[in-house]
Amino acid sequence: MLYRYKIKIKKTESGQLKYQLITSYINPNIIGNVFSSVYMTMISNLPDIIFLCGFMGSGKSTIGRGLADSLEWPFLDLDDKIEEIAGQEIPEIFEREGEAGFRTIERRALLEVARKFKGVVALGGGSLQSQHMVDHLKLKGLLIFLETPISVILGRVSGDENRPLLLDKRGNPKNKKVLEQDLQALYDERLPFYKQAVINVANDGSKSPEQIVEILLKKIRNHVEDY
């Protein structure tokens, strides 16, 4: 079953902000849409930017677009912003600047996005480069972690030559055993940063992107209510 969410903001006479979350769903066995409304009174500094973090192949871009569509918010893939700033595609940046050079550009792009953009942002797998960056993003908006097992990630990214970290020093795809070892080590290194996200959603491949978006929206609503 597919759901669609909208958020409307109204100001009461006392100046308090009231948020209306409108949930609509379509049941193929029922003609028409069924709407239900849930009214929530929230604090006025509700974050207007959502960051999706997670390892490569965790579905950040796909789910990020679905989340943005449901909220009717803009969507941005951080990789697109990096390429815009560098004037090059990601593989070319890695080839010319190396990973260190790429991370410098990535940090610049992310800080600019955090400062200016309002909407849903899909981060790169290594965007959370430091504790300072994690803290900064949590201060600016809502950080969400899409947790995906390495076994699932391997099935999604294997053979993708547009991902520089999957290639050896000669630019050839790593063999399966080496790739699995390298990705597991990298995942373990980044996991402590991912785990600091405010919301964690498992994406092990057993649910469709639409179902993940539905779960996310419910968790976001619950978080804001609790907050």
pTM: 0.77
Average pLDDT over residues 16-20: 53
Confidence of residue 21 (pLDDT cuts 50, 70, 90): low
Residues whose CB falls within 8 Å of the CB of residue 163, separated by 6 or more in sequence, listed in order: 56, 157
Average pLDDT over residues 189-216: 94
Distance in Å from the first CA to the final CA of the chain = 29
| pLDDT attached to residue 27 | 43
Neighbours of 203 (CB within 10 A): 25
Q: Is the pLDDT of residue 42 over 50?
A: no
Task: Measure the CA angle with vertex 41, ends 40 and 45; round to 5°.
Answer: 120
Q: What is the pLDDT of residues 65-105, one digit of tens each?
A: 999 999 889 999 999 999 999 999 998 998 899 999 999 99
Task: Yes or no: say if 37 and 21 are a contact pair by the CB < 8 Å rule.
Answer: yes
